[in-house]
Copies of this chain bind each other. A is one copy, B any other.
Amino acid sequence: MEKLLFGVAYYDEYMPYDRLAEDIRMMKEAGLNVVRIAESTWSTHEPQNGVFDFSSVDRVLDAMHEAGIHVIVGTPTYAIPTWMVKEHPEVLAVTPRGPGRYGARQIMDITNKTYLFYAERIIRKLLSHVKDHPAIIGYQTDNETKHYDTAGANVQLQFVKYMREQYESLDAINRKFGLDYWSNRINSWEDFPSVVGTINGSLGAEFAKFQRGLVTSFLKWQADLVREYKRDDQFVTQNFDFEWRGYSYGVQPSVDHFAASETFDIAGVDIYHPSQDKLTGIEISFGGDLTRSLKGSNYLVLETQAQAFPDWTPFPGQLRQLAFSHLASGANMVAYWHWHSIHNSFETYWKGLLSHDFLPNPVYKEAMTIGRDFARLSEQLVDLKKESLVAVMVSNEALTAMEWFKLPGGKTYNDVVRWMYDELYKLNAGCDFIPASSDQLDRYKLIVVPALYAVSDETLHRLNDYVSKGGHVVYSFKTGFTNELVQVRPAQQPGIIHEACGVAYSVFVEPSNVGLKEHAFAIAAEEGQVQTWMELLTPTTAEVLASYDHPQWGQYAAITRNRHGAGTATYVGCMTSGAVMRKVFEGALKEAGLWGVEQQAAFPLIVKKGTNRAGRTVRYYFNYSSEAVHYAYPHESGHELLSDRPVDAGGQMELAPWGVHIIVE
C-alpha cells in the first residue's frame, strides 16, 4: 500500500438532499482519503431488468477524483432488486426454515443460475463502465458473503454429487458417517434424503463444509470476473466478517476464510466490538491477527464503527485509540461504516461518523485529529511488518462439529478460542492464526490449539512431529476427539496426540463444585473453579501442573505438560478461569523462550509491535481503561510519534485514559 488509508463507506444514493460537495469538503477536513461505494445499491444501478444507470457512481467518482479521494467500488450483488424476485422467485434461497421472502439483503441462493446470470451482467456492466476511472484504487466483491443457509432441492442435488465425488461409494459413506444409526443407512443414490432434517452430526457437518465451499467458489467466480477489468494498479478484496454475537466475536462459521481469501489480492474485513466501558481492544486484535494471517500480509479494515449503537458511541479519545489499534495489528486502512447516519429503513441506529444532522459532532471532530496524524505518520506506520512466533490453530470443521455437539451450558468452539486467545492478548503475546491444514508450523515457537475437535490424523501427526522437533504446543480439552468427519476416534483419548502429551482419559464429566489443586503454580481459590467441561486425565509420562480438587475426581489430573523430543506439549483438560489459563501460557511462553519485557506489562496496558518500511521497530502502547497508566519504557531510546518527543530507555511514561503511544526505536 502506498500510504495509510482513512475512509468511510459512502452512499450518495441514500442522501435526503444533494450533499456531495459539502460531504467532500467535510471529508477533506477530516483527512479522509478513501471511500467505498456501490456494494448495496443494485436496484439503483439497474432499475429494471437490463436497464442500467450508473449516474450516482459516475458523479461520486468524478467528484472524489477531483478532491483527491480514492474510491473502492463494490460489486452490488449481495442485495437483489425487487424486479428480479418478481420475475424469478426461485432466486431466493430455500433454507431449513422454509422458502425465502423478499426484503432483506443476503437472501438469495448463491448457486442459482438465474441469480448468477444477473450478477455477472451487472458486474460486467458496472466494471466496463468505470474501469478506466482514475479515482478507483480497488474493487470489493459482493459484501460479507455467506451461503445464507441455502439448502433447497437444487442444493441437495449438488450435495449428493459432491458426496459421490468425495467418497465414491455409499458403503464408504454409510461407514464413515455412521448411517446405520437410527436406520439412516442409504443404500441407493436415489434414496439420498435432504440433509435439512438430518440428526447425524457427521453428515450435517459435511453439508456445512460443502456450503462453505459454495462461498469460496462464488467469491472466486466474482474475483475472476473483476480481474477481467481491473488495472494492474488496482486490487480486488473481500469484506470478510466474523461470528456475530452482536459484535465480531470469533471464527466465522459459514466461510472458510483461509480458502476464500486465496483469490484476493489483499484481505479486507469488518470489525465491530463493544465500546465505552467495555472496550478492551481484544476484538480488534483478534480480527486483525486473523485477517493478517489470511494472506500473511497487511489488510484493510473496510468497516468499523464510528458512533454506531447507543452503547458503542465512543468516549472522548476512544475513536482515536481505535484507529491506531487497527494499525498496530497490521491494518493499512481504517474505514468507518459509514459516513452519515441513514434516515430510513433498518440501520437507522447504526450511526456513522456524522449523525443524521450532518453537523460536525464530537466524534467527527476526533476523526479530524486521526486524519491529520495518519497523513503525517503514514510513511512510518504503513505496511507494518509483524513477525509472530506464536500461532493459534483454528478450524471451521472443529467449529461446526462443536455446534452439533455443544459443550454444557451451550458453550461452543469460539468460547474456547476466545478463552485462550484473550489471555494471549492480555499477555501481549502477539500471534498469527493458522488453519489445521497448515504446513508452516515450523515458523512458530508456540502453537496454541483450542478445542481442535474434528481434525485429520495427518494434522495431529504433524503436531506431534512439531513438538518432537522442538516446538511447543498448548492444547485445550476435546482436541483430537474426532476425525475430520466428526467420527470419534476409537482409541483412548486424546488419541493421536497422546504420543506428545503423555496423558490419557476415557471419562469426562461436567464439573460441579470442582476446583484445582496447584502443582506447578499458585492458584487462588477464586480463580481455581473449573467450569463447563473436565476430562479425567491420567498422565502416562506427563508432569501434572494441576489436578482436580473434588471428593470423587481428586485422583485425576487437570492440566499436564509433557516433554516430547525437543519440545513440550501442554494439555489443559478442563475449562479454567482466565487467570489459570494465563499461568499455563506463562509456563509455555517461558519454555518457548518467548517470555520478555512485554509480558510483564499487564492488561489494560497493551503493547503491540512490528517493523516499518524503514526496518525500524514500532511499538504501540495502549491504555484500555479510564485511569491513567504508568510504565517504564523498557527498550532503547526512541521517539514517540504522536507527541513528537524523544523517549529515553527506561523513561517513565504516563499513558492517558484510552491513550496511545507510538514509539519508534
> Taking beta carbons and an 8 Å cutoff, which residues of A are in contact with B?
11, 13-14, 16-17, 40-44, 47-48, 76, 79-83, 85-86, 101-105, 177-188, 190-202, 276-277, 307, 309-311, 313, 315-316, 341-349, 355-359, 361-363, 405, 408, 482, 485-493, 506-510, 512-513, 533, 551-552, 626
Contact = CB atoms under 8 A, between A and B. Distances in A.
Contact of A82 (B14, B191, B551): B191
Given A17-B490, A201-B345, A507-B361, A41 B310 contact: no
29 contacts: A11-B180, A14-B178, A40-B182, A40-B183, A43-B179, A47-B185, A79-B184, A82-B187, A103-B196, A103-B198, A103-B199, A103-B200, A105-B182, A177-B345, A178-B342, A178-B343, A182-B346, A199-B345, A200-B345, A277-B513, A309-B510, A311-B509, A313-B509, A343-B482, A344-B485, A344-B486, A348-B488, A349-B405, A356-B488
Contacts of A506: 355, 357, 359, 361
Given A14-B178, A82-B192, A183 B492 contact: no
Contacts of A626: 551
A527 B276 CA distance: 24
Contacts of A48: 187-188
A43 to B, nearest CB: 4
A359 B552 CA distance: 21
A357 B349 CA distance: 53
Contacts of A362: 507
Nearest to A98: B98
Contact of A491 (B177, B357, B489): B357
Which of A182, A363, A492, A509 gathers most chain B CB within 10 Å?
A182
Nearest to A82: B191
Max chain B C-beta neighbours (<10 A), residue from A42, A81, A344, A626: A344
Given A181-B346, A183-B43, A201-B348, A276 B488 contact: no
A359 B48 CA distance: 68
A368 to B, nearest CB: 15
A384 B13 CA distance: 57
A181 B490 contact: no
Contacts of A533: 310
A544 B617 CA distance: 51
- Kindly name the residue among A85, A193, A200, A277 whose own CB sees the greatest number of chain B CB atoms within 10 A: A193
A355 B536 CA distance: 13
A286 to B, nearest CB: 23
Contact of A507 (B81, B105, B187, B307): B307
A342 B191 CA distance: 24
A199 B551 contact: no
Given A82-B193, A200-B344, A309-B510, 9 more contacts: A86-B191, A86-B193, A103-B195, A103-B196, A184-B345, A200-B346, A276-B509, A311-B408, A355-B493
A14 B355 contact: no
- The 4 A-B pairs of least Cβ separation, nearest first, read A178-B344, A101-B197, A103-B197, A79-B183
Contacts of A76: 183
A182 B43 CA distance: 8
B346 A187 contact: no
A205 B430 CA distance: 49
Nearest to A86: B191
A41 B187 CA distance: 13
Contact of A14 (B181, B315, B510): B181
Contacts of A486: 344
Nearest to A318: B552
B187 A47 contact: yes
A104 B196 CA distance: 11
Nearest to A342: B181
A476 to B, nearest CB: 16
Nearest to A276: B512
Contacts of A186: 43, 82
Contacts of A315: 552
Given A196-B101, A199-B104, A43 B187 contact: yes
A387 to B, nearest CB: 37
Contacts of A361: 506-507
Contacts of A492: 357, 359
